[in-house]
Amino acid sequence: MTVYRESESIEQHVEALLQRMTLHEKAGQCCGTYVGKVGAVRQSLEDVLEEVEAYQLGFATPFGIASTPHTDPREVAEVANRLQRRAIEESRLGIPLIIPVDATHGHAYIASATVFPHNLGLGATWDPELARRIGRVTAREVRATGAHQNYGPTCDVVRDPRWGRTFETFGESPLLVGEMVAAKIRGSREAEPGVLTTAKHFPAYGAPERGEDAAPVDVSPRTLRRGFLPPFERAIEAGADVVMPCYNAVNGVPAHGSEQYLSGLLREDLGFDGAIASDWGGVDQLHEDHRVTDSREASIRLAFGAGLDVASIGGVRHARAIHDAVETGAISRERLDESVRRILTAKFRLGLFDDPYVDPDRAAEFLGHRTHRELAYEAARKSVTLLENDGLLPLSGDEDVLVTGPNADAPLAQVGGWSVEDPDGVAGATIYEALQDGPGTGSVSYEPGLTPTGDDAPIDAAVDAARDADVAVVVLGEGWYIHEFASNPPKPNANAFPSRIDLSLPEAQQRLLEGIHETGTPTVLTLVSGRPLAVSWAAQNLPALIWSYYPGTEGGRALADVLFGDQEPGGRLPISIPRSTGHLPVVHDHLPHPHPAGTNQHVAAYDPLFPFGHGLSYTEFAYRDLRVSPEEIPIDGTVEATVTVENVGERVGEEVVQFYLHARSGPLVRPVRELCGFERVRLDPGQERSVSVRLGTDALGIVLEDGRRVVSPGRYEIGCADLLVPFEAAAH
């Protein structure tokens, strides 16, 4: 291994090493490889070790992807050490590897790791401070196993819930997504020694046509900047190390090959100076799917010419193509040096040249630590969203409860995709197991109601059991899945839907639910799913309805505590729930439109089953004294909104105070309303608190053609709960 004097700066380290590197070594640093199966290609650890040695590759992913064979924490730490030894001891310059992983909701591909609620559930907490703490714990568990880069957080704003990656997002509001993303990044950077964070998928991924993953996104430049870029801006401000382009074409241009998006928008306009790494096979898709090039070599030239630094799984094939492109002048040596400089800088900042190895025994002891699991429990209970309740909840504990449904005793469904695929690797209690530990004298029985494959043969047994119960808890929704490019669930599962054309419950689940309801037993529907489901029948017919998202390993315990009233249901919707698939799109910040010929022929433009921000509590809150200061602001000024909220119920409760901006007049069409500020507060009975937000150009501004935001003159209103206060922005 090359030894460097500690007194030298990182920049000096990088430049000294860069001067010594051959073209072969530089090209290798810009490429990664993987252990496991991606598509039809399966690579063993031995295959990867040979690749790393032969071409001095800069990145290798031995675990943390679908179909990886390595899930035990001690084993993965040993694999990471083995890869580092090969990279360092069998190369001329001894440059260590960066090992990336998909740790979107904890280091969830590793058995016994702490698995937090998926991002949509975490978004339902509306708690950036909680997201910061989760980011820190995730980074520490990732680094303990020898990995150094997290392929997250997801900065996408979802606009079509049919999309199979909805659960990876923080929801439909650019503000909420941006706040949660920035907090997760800050937490990750606080961890020692830390990991690289990856803001993905730039610039717009969450509004694919038909809801089909990687389908084209067509948005105006103004909509792109208003609705999709703000979370990336917040991520960059928070210190994101890497940005990952989206698979899809945005306005006809594939992001992986777009100089406009990568060099222009990302680097010049947003000021990002870190590395840009491809999303898995995004480079090859330029010729295989988008057809903007005719060969792998041409795709690599296009991508690296556009500003890409790392072909994440390109392997030796991509490294050779980069080498050849530089030799022929298709890629300049200066351009290659820019990329290598960014990669080496990251490795020095991570401390990999000092000590890239980890202790396998510590990894086994550290992952899933008790304090980490308590944090996962806090996140799960704060995410549980009570959508409807006629007084049935909370349960006393003295009722005889029937638990049924395919997700009631399903560890894999509870953690969701981007997690281990073997239920034996999932820690924590399932919903049914946790309910068995409830208070009081009541019994808890279980009938599955449906087999994992959707066979409804057990429905009759569940219906018969419901007749003898005081309350039925029916746990339905979706199973384990990830987006279309990844493997299918490990076992046949009729509840797994990477992408959907219908957001209703599967037919067999609906039959089970209606059969239980027909017994007359009071029924609580609990949804475990990665996106909002159109459950209009349930909302009209059942006394209680809960959405727990994918709550993670501690989700069973959290949900049981909420059902029995030991904890408040703390979640508020980060995404609107439509009445049906045919009602899409359903987003709170939609644009207004006129009625034809002055008539009122349109149905309501926003008519969700449950609106964005909705969520009930076991206590009650009252709002008063909403005020805005000043009532008139200059065009470059700010305004402060303040409201008083009081807990007027009899239980301790947590409320999410939400402020919305309503533009009443101005030079451009703006959303009917859009979230502009929020704060989560905890109040004892009778306690009140004043909550304030300050709004500037980020919230009040319109986006000009050149990307600048300015506050346009006009009339506005700030809304909070059912209160509205007007103010004005003055003209120049």
Render pLDDT for 115-169 as a digit per residue (tens, 0 to 9): 999 999 999 999 999 999 999 999 999 999 999 999 999 999 999 999 999 999 9
Closest CA to 210 of 254, 164, 249, 162: 162
**pLDDT the model gives residue 599:** 60
Q: What is the pLDDT of residues 264-275, one digit of tens each?
A: 999 999 999 999
pLDDT for res 360: 96
Which pLDDT value is given to residue 492?
47
pLDDT class of 71 with cuts at 50, 70, 90: confident
Task: Give me 677's structure tokens.
Answer: 């500020």
Two tokens, residue 542: 């059942």
CA atoms within 13 A on the CB side of 7: 0
Least confident of 488-502, 630-644, 667-681: 488-502
* Separation of alpha carbons 673 and 661, rounded Å: 5
Under DSSP, is residue 188 helix (H, G, I), strand (E, B) or coil? helix
Range in 37-41, 93-97, 527-531 with the lowest mean pLDDT: 37-41
Higher per-residue confidence, 655 vs 423: 655
Q: In what order do the strands lie in the sheet with 688-695?
A: 621-629, 639-647, 688-695
| Res 488: pLDDT | 46
Tell me the domains of the chain and their CATH numbers. 10-364 (3.20.20.300), 384-583 (3.40.50.1700), 619-729 (2.60.40.10)
* Per-residue pLDDT at 116: 98
- pLDDT tens digits, 474-487: 999 999 988 754 54
Encoded amino acid at 35, one letter: V
Q: Given this model, what pLDDT does residue 730 score? A: 76
What pLDDT, in 10s, does the model give residues 584-623?
999 999 998 887 655 666 678 899 999 999 999 999 999 9
The percentage of the chain sitting over the pLDDT mark of 70, rounded to a whole number, equals 93
Band (491; pLDDT cuts 50, 70, 90): very low
Report d(CA 675, CA 657) in Å as an integer.
11
Nearest residue to 416 (alpha-carbon basis) of 218, 549, 270, 255: 549
615 within 8 A of 387, measured Cβ to Cβ: yes
For residue 278 the two structure tokens come to 């491809």
- The yes-or-no verdict on residue 278 having pLDDT over 90 is yes
Question: What per-residue confidence (pLDDT) applies to 608?
Answer: 97
> Tokens at residue 176, please?
């909420």
Backbone angles phi and psi of 474, in degrees to 5: -105, 120
Here the tokens at position 139 are 């980074």
- HEC assignment per residue over 571-623: CCCCCCECCCHHHCCCCCCCCCCCCHHHCCCCCCCCCCCECCCCCECCCCEEE
| DSSP letters spanning 689-732 | EEEEEEE-HHHHEEEPTTS-EEEPSEEEEEEETTEEEEEEE---
Do 466 and 448 contact (CB within 8 A), yes or no?
Answer: no
In this structure, what token pair is assigned to residue 558? 């959290």
Contacts of 328 (CB under 8 A, 6+ apart): none
Q: Is 370 exposed, middle or buried (0-12, 13-18, 19+ CB in 10 A)?
A: exposed
Residue type at position 701: G
Q: What is the pTM of this model?
A: 0.95
- Cα torsion 367, 372, 377, 378 to 10°: value is -160
Find the mean pLDDT for residues 67-78: 81
Bridge-based pairing of strands 723-729 and 632-633 is parallel
The Cα 245–Cα 265 span in angstroms is 12
For residues 230-257, average pLDDT: 97
Residues 383-432 pLDDT 10s: 999 999 999 999 999 999 999 999 999 999 999 999 988 888 898 999 99
Cα separation of 306 and 111, whole Å? 39
Check residue 73 and give its pLDDT: 92
The angle, 0 to 180 degrees and rounded to 10, between the axes of the packed helices 370-383 and 555-563 is: 50
Tokens representing 111 are: 């058995």
| Average model confidence (pLDDT) across the chain | 92
pLDDT value of position 317? 92
d(CA 206, CA 215): 10
Using alpha carbons only, what angle is made at residue 83 by residues 80 and 87, rounded to the nearest 5 degrees?
A: 135
Q: What is the mean pLDDT of the segment spanning 532-558? A: 98
8 Å CB contact between 422 and 480: no
**49 is written with which tokens?**
């070790």
Q: Which of 242, 355, 384 is nearest to 308 (CA)?
A: 242
Q: Nearest-CA neighbor of 65 among 90, 96, 26, 39?
A: 39
**10 Å Cβ neighbour count for 385?**
26
- 301-349: per-residue pLDDT in tens? 999 999 999 999 989 999 999 999 999 999 999 999 999 999 999 999 9
Segment 174-189 shows an average pLDDT of 97
